[in-house]
Homo-oligomer: A and B are copies of this chain.
Amino acid sequence: MSNVTVADIARHLGISTATVSMTLRNKGRISEQTRQRVLKAIDELGYVYNQTAANLRNRSSNQVGLLLHDITNPFYAEMTAGLSREMENHDLMLFLANSEESADRQQQFMDSLQRNNAAGMVICAAQPTPHRFFESLQRRCMPTILVVRPVPDVAIDFVGTDNFLGCQMATEHLLRLGHRHIAFIGGQTVSISRSRRLGGYMSKLIEHGIAPNQEWIISCGANRNDGTQAMMTILEKHPEVTAAVCYQDVVALGAMLALRKQGKVVGCDFALVGFDDIPESALAESGVTTVSVAAREIGRKAGELLLERIAGNDEPAKSVILVPTLVIRQSCGS
């Protein structure tokens, strides 16, 4: 950390700190001559702008927080890249915290952000977050954008995808291919996103005159192992099932493993649709047909919205629901 201050520059040149400061920020009318002298001195003395002092004086901040529950999940890593990009483009520093689904660590991070007087934050809350957490968010005057996991009954901006529609598209696709015995695999039962996706799945079955079968709906964690286990269960107990809508691509990838182990050919003997469109899905042996929600775009959009809020936009809270698209690959046949 350089110790050269605005005052040092001023003293060095025999001028006032006001002049130096104004030169730095291109404010006020500074003669071209002085300007040059100041810039030269800054360079010579190796001056480094002290953002901390400026933040204190301005009661402002150039820092925003990003709270995730799992940065190692490719979907969130992708989203982070989108947000990071957007923040850098606007000279904001991005604080990252990984709650690992711990409400405690999440709360700690929030307090930290508050103490650091962050300009705003983007949050994908841990699964067991008490509702009062969101209520307290609303009371704080820090701009906040919720992402991916919707939270009911709070007036906070949200950016996510249309879970209902996405799963309708996935289910419809399978129905059109002639499948009638379609399972739904994945997600935690407490998840709101899951309930919406299930809604899309069921609505389409009903639309086609098919009664949903609770036995074919299996919840599991967001990883391949769980997906494999779930698919094993389906194959064992419900051999009549010929297709499945998976809650996430990672689950679908796990399910593919189970199918192969049982000697089934994905796309011929069994059809799978995923959700998320993570990079792996495009590259799997038989590409996963999936509902694409453009993770990077969610990050970018959340950043954009956050910037507006920081800039002072105080419209009522809004939800930006990105419309998903169906990316057809080989996992349902070709």
Contacts and interface: CB of A to CB of B under 8 A. Distances in A.
A96 B84 CA distance: 8
Interface of A: 1-2, 48-53, 55-56, 59, 61-63, 66, 70-72, 74, 77-78, 80-81, 84-85, 88, 91, 93-98, 100, 105, 108-109, 112, 114-117, 141-142, 224-225, 228, 253-254, 257, 260, 279-280, 283, 285
Nearest to A139: B46
Contact of A115 (B49, B78, B109): B49
Contacts of A84: 71, 96-98
Contacts of A109: 88
A109 B88 CA distance: 8
Contacts of A116: 51-52, 62-63, 93
Contact of A48 (B94, B105, B114, B228): B114
Contacts of A61: 52
B280 A257 contact: no
Given A52-B117, A81-B72, A88-B105, A283 B94 contact: no
B74 A80 contact: no
A2 B224 CA distance: 44
Nearest to A108: B88
A56 to B, nearest CB: 5
B71 A81 contact: yes
Nearest to A286: B260
Contacts of A224: 283
Contact of A112 (B1, B81, B93, B260): B93
A155 to B, nearest CB: 19
Given A283-B225, A285-B285, A56 B59 contact: no
A280 B279 contact: no
A261 to B, nearest CB: 9
